[in-house]
Structure 1
Amino acid sequence: MTEIEQAIGYQFKQPRLLTQAFTHRSFGTPHNERLEFLGDSVLNCAIAQFLYTRFPDLPEGVLSRLRANLVRQQSLFEIAEKLKLGEFLRLGDGEVKSGGRSRPSILADALESIFGAVLLDSNFDQAQQVIHHLYADSIAAIDPKTPAKDSKTLLQEVLQSRHLPLPDYVLVNTTGHAHEQIFSIDCVIPALGIHTSGVANSRRAAEQAAALTAHQAIMTEATLTSVRKSGK
C-alpha cells in the first residue's frame, strides 16, 4: 500500500485510477477532470446522507448550509493539504512554475478526483468510507445549534441590524484561461467607508472572500468602539 493509500484508508485494485486522479490536464491525458466531475457528485451525496442520518430533526435549509460548508473548495483544500497531495500531483512545467502544487483549485479537484477513482475502483460504500474518514474532524466539529453561515450572509445580517444598505459587489478584473479564470471582486459599503477585495477562481468565492474581510472590519471596529466606551 502506498503512502497516499494509507492516508486515505483505501488500497486501489487498479492503481492507474489513482495515477489519473493526480494528473492535471496540463500534464497530458488521461487527466482527472472526468474523475473530478464524478467525485464531486459522490462527495455531495455522501455528505448529504451522513448529515441526513446524523441530524434527523434539522430542516432542509440548515442541512444544505452545513453540506455547502463541508464541500466548498476551502474545506477540500485544507484536507488536501493535510494529505500533502501537492507532492503527488502530475503537472505540466508551466503549472509547476506557477505554483500549481499549492493552488487551492488544483488540490481540491485532485481530492474530488480521488473520490471518483475510489467509486470506479470499488463502489459507493467504499467511496463513502473514504470521505467519512477524511472528513472525520470536520464532521465532529459540527454544532447543529449554530449552523455555519457564509460570509455574505453574515455581512448582510450585520448591515440589516444597523438599517444600512446592502453592499455592492463589483467585478474588478478577470484573468486566466476560460477553464481556470481568476476573479477579483470588490465589496463596497459607502455608508461605513469600507472597500475590501477578494480574489478566487470563481466569482462567488471572490465575493465571499471580500465579504469576509468587510465583516471582520465591521466587527473589529465594533469591538474597539466598545473598549473605548468602557474605558471612559
Structure 2
Amino acid sequence: MSSYDQLEKIIGYSFKSKSLLLEAITHSSYAYEKKLKKNYERLEFLGDAVLELIITEYMVLKYKDLNEGILSQYRSFFVSEDFISEIAKNINLQHVIRLGKGEIVTGGSNKPSLLADTFESLLAAVYLDGGYNEARRIVLKLMSDLIDEYIQGKKIIDPKTELQKITQKEFGYLPEYNVLKEEGPEHNKSFTVEVKLHCGTFLGTGKNKKKAEMDAAKKALEFLHSSVTTN
C-alpha cells in the first residue's frame, strides 16, 4: 500500500481525482525542482476558509450557550498553526508531503506552518473532489473530540489573555514579558522569555517569541492556581 493510499485510509476518503490529492501535498520547493505548474498554495487558501466555516458551524450548533466573543476565541485557537499541525501529524501527513531537497534538509516536513498549510490544502482538495459534506465529515472525525475536550473541560486556550485578566483584576497591573535569550540558526530558533509578577519570575521557551511568552504565561498561571488551591 502506498503512502497516498494509507493517507486516504486514515482520513476515510478515496479521491476520484488523484491529481487533486497530489497537488494538495506538493510544496512549492518540490514543484520548482520538478518544473511542475501547480503546488498546494491555491488549495491552502481555499482550505483555510473551508476549515473555518466547518469549525464555526459545529460550535454554533452544538454550544448554543457560548457568546460570539468566546466562540471567536475558540475558533482562533482551533484554526491556529499549532493546533492544526498536531492534527496533521495525527494522520501522518508529514510522511507524504512532497518537498524539495532544500526543505528536506531543513526538516520541512516537521515545520508546524508547513504541516498546517498542507492539512488545509488537503481539506480543500476533498472539498473540490467530494463536496462540503465530505470535507465536514473528515474535519469532525479528526477534530470534534478535541474541540469538545477543550470547550467542555474549559481548558485555557490563551494563557497570555487569561494571565492578563487575573493580574489586572486581582493585583491592578499588567504582566511584563522580556526576551532573555535567542539561540539557534534562522530556520530553527529557540527563544527564552520571562514574565515578571509580584510573586516571582517565570520562564518560558518556544520556537518564536509568541510561543515562549505563551509558555511563560502558562507556568505563571499554574503557579497562581496552585497557590489559590493550597491557601
Question: Shorter-chain TM-score category?
Answer: 0.7 to 0.9
2:21 is the counterpart of 1:18: yes
2:215 is the counterpart of 1:212: yes
> Cα 1:61–1:144, aligned 2, differ >3 Å: closer, same or farther?
farther
In the superposition, the TM-score normalised over structure 2's length comes to 0.80
Is the 8 Å Cα contact of residues 188 and 195 (structure 1) preserved in structure 2? yes
SS at match of 1:4: helix
Segment of structure 1 superposing worse, 10-19 or 56-65:
56-65
* Counterpart residue number, 2:63: 55
Match runs of 1:14-163 below 5 Å: 14-28=17-31, 29=36, 30-144=38-152, 146=154, 148-163=156-171
* Counterpart residue number, 1:9: 12
* Counterpart residue number, 1:194: 201
SS at match of 2:30: coil
Distance 1:70 1:218 in 2: 21
Q: How far apart are residue 80 of structure 1 and its match?
A: 1.1
Distance 2:45 2:73 in 1: 21
Is the 8 Å Cα contact of residues 159 and 221 (structure 2) preserved in structure 1? no
Q: How far apart are residue 186 of structure 1 and its match?
A: 3.8
Distance 2:95 2:157 in 1: 33
SS at match of 1:2: helix
Distance 2:207 2:40 in 1: 21
Distance 2:108 2:81 in 1: 15
Percent of pairs identical after alignment?
33
> Cα 1:83–1:168, aligned 2, differ >3 Å: closer, same or farther?
same
Gaps of at least 5 residues in structure 2 are none
Distance 1:217 1:9 in 2: 41
Gaps of at least 5 residues in structure 1 are none
> Cα 1:157–1:90, aligned 2, differ >3 Å: closer, same or farther?
same
For 2:201, the aligned partner's letter is: I
Distance 2:225 2:71 in 1: 31
SS at match of 1:58: coil
